[in-house]
Amino acid sequence: MSDVKKTLGIAGLLTVICLYTAYNSSNFYSGNNIENTLRWTALFGIISIGVSYVIISGGIDLSIGSVVGLSGCVLAWLLTDKEMSVPAAMVTITAMSIAIGLAHGLLITKVGLQPFVVTLCGLLLYRGLARYLTDDGSVGFGTGFTGLKSVANGKIAIPFIESFAVPTPFILLIGLALAAGTVLQFTIYGRYLFALGRNEAAARYSGIRTDRVVILAYVFCSLLAGLGGVLFALYFNSVQPSSTGEFYELYAIAAAVLGGCSLRGGEGSILGVVIGTAVMIVLKNAINLLQIPPQLEFAIIGGVILAGVITDEVVRRMVAKRRAAQRV
């Protein structure tokens, strides 16, 4: 119930920002700009969906940016240096991402380490590995692999519309969001994730294998970060081992929080997270189009998120008060 209202709230915010920007800059609704905005929303949205599972479980993943960097580096290295086939490289990266998530999940549930610490160490570890693997030099795909690259920078034309086409990653995002949202809302796994995010003990006392549920959330998160890394690398066409993906975990977490996830756990919706990502991307776009000093970018994004969570908290208290009044 309140998740729906939250999503409506954030959708309203997105509409306001879009209208304001469009009113002040006609470039905003040019076909090119819309395509770009959708593409960036898709790339960041994919990693944000991953982290939202972890956040709903009551945890956090700080390693996403480094996994993006590592996976991009490994892809370029495997395809160009090792001359591996594309399917084999994809399988390798998938396996690596799953292994990373599995390691996080096991350390958190079985060894009892804090998610913050485990994934902070991951952030450092994977960045270091990426730089070592590539000798800290940029790696790229050059002019080859056009077929593979089209997954990230291609677009699909809409019949009878010439000025605009849908970027391929956006199709991918819609598919992933539908799947992730369905799992969260309609499956037993999703129900367990919400329950243990709120009260791990009550879930365990009800016979739920909470450890397994949590481990799966971390695996899913790292898997999407790995996939995100592939897409970012293909889109940029080259990867800087020391900087590609840096701070992306913070964008992902910010989008999830803006979209209605609570770091207390047990709250959030995939639609909200996707819209949250869009808000951030459109804000960046607006800063650019409206010639707001780009130095203010972080400050504006930070301010908007803060305003969002304050509103959420105020509304939550009002609802609690009203509910308490009708207590039976």
Partner 1 sequence: MNRSLLDVRGLTKHFPGVRALHNVDLLLGAGEVVAVIGENGAGKSTLMKILAGVQPPDAGEVRLNDELIQTATVRDAQKLGIALIHQELNLADNLSVAANIFLGREPRRFGIINFGKMRTDAAQVLDRLRTSIRPDTLVSRLTIGQQQMVEIAKALSVDARILIMDEPTSSLSQHETEQLYEVIADLRDSGVSVIYISHRLGEVRAVADRVVVLRDGENAGALEKEDITHDKMVRLMVGRDVTSLRDRESTNPGEPLLHVRGLQTTAYPEQSVDLEVRAGEIVGIGGLVGAGRTELLETVFGVAARRAGTVEVSGDIVRANHPEDSIASGMALIPEDRKQYALVLEMAVRANLNLARIRYGHRAGFVNRKSESRTSVDMIKRLNVRTPSEAQPVQYLSGGNQQKVVLGKWLSLNPRVLLLDEPTRGIDVGSKQEIYELVEQLARDGAGILFVSSEMEELLGLADRILVMHDGAIAGELARAEATEESVMHLATGAPIPETADV
List, as own/partner pairs, every contact residues 187-196 make where C-beta atoms lie below 8 angstroms and the sequence separation is at least 24, other chains included. 189/213, 189/216, 193/53, 193/56, 193/57, 193/217, 194/56, 194/266, 194/267, 195/266, 196/57, 196/58, 196/265, 196/266
Q: Whose Cβ is closer to partner 1: residue 291's or residue 328's?
A: 328
Across-strand partners of 167?
A: 155
Give the shortest CB-111-to-partner 1 separation in angstroms.
17
**4 CB-near residues (< 8 Å, 6+ apart):** 269
Give the shortest CB-321-to-partner 1 separation in angstroms.
11
Give the shortest CB-59-to-partner 1 separation in angstroms.
17
Give the shortest CB-210-to-partner 1 separation in angstroms.
9
Q: Whose Cβ is closer to partner 1: residue 2's or residue 150's?
A: 2
Cβ–Cβ contacts within 10 Å for residue 73, how many?
27
Give the shortest CB-274-to-partner 1 separation in angstroms.
22
Give the shortest CB-91-to-partner 1 separation in angstroms.
25
For residues 110 and 273, what is the distance between their CA atoms, to the nearest angstrom? Answer: 29
For residues 207 and 280, what is the distance between their CA atoms, to the nearest angstrom? Answer: 40
Distances (CA, A) of 127 to 49, 123, 245, 292, 320: 22, 6, 9, 32, 44
Q: Whose Cβ is closer to partner 1: residue 132's or residue 186's?
A: 186
Give the shortest CB-31-to-partner 1 separation in angstroms.
40
Identify the CA nearest to 257 among candidates 269, 248, 243.
269
Across-strand partners of 165?
A: 157
Does residue 40 contact residue 101 with C-beta atoms inside 8 Å? no
For residues 242 and 65, what is the distance between their CA atoms, to the nearest angstrom? Answer: 11
Give the shortest CB-275-to-partner 1 separation in angstroms.
22
Which residue in the block uniquely carries the two structure tokens 């490994």? 74
For residues 233 and 171, what is the distance between their CA atoms, to the nearest angstrom? Answer: 18
Task: List interacting residues with partner 1 (CB under 8 A).
Answer: 1, 186-189, 191, 194-195, 198-199, 201-209, 266-267, 323-324, 326-328
Q: Whose Cβ is closer to partner 1: residue 161's or residue 188's?
A: 188
Q: Whose Cβ is closer to partner 1: residue 119's or residue 269's?
A: 269
Q: Whose Cβ is closer to partner 1: residue 27's or residue 185's?
A: 185
For residues 241 and 223, what is the distance between their CA atoms, to the nearest angstrom? Answer: 19
Q: Whose Cβ is closer to partner 1: residue 91's or residue 314's?
A: 314
Q: Whose Cβ is closer to partner 1: residue 157's or residue 202's?
A: 202
Q: Whose Cβ is closer to partner 1: residue 155's or residue 198's?
A: 198
Give the shortest CB-109-to-partner 1 separation in angstroms.
13
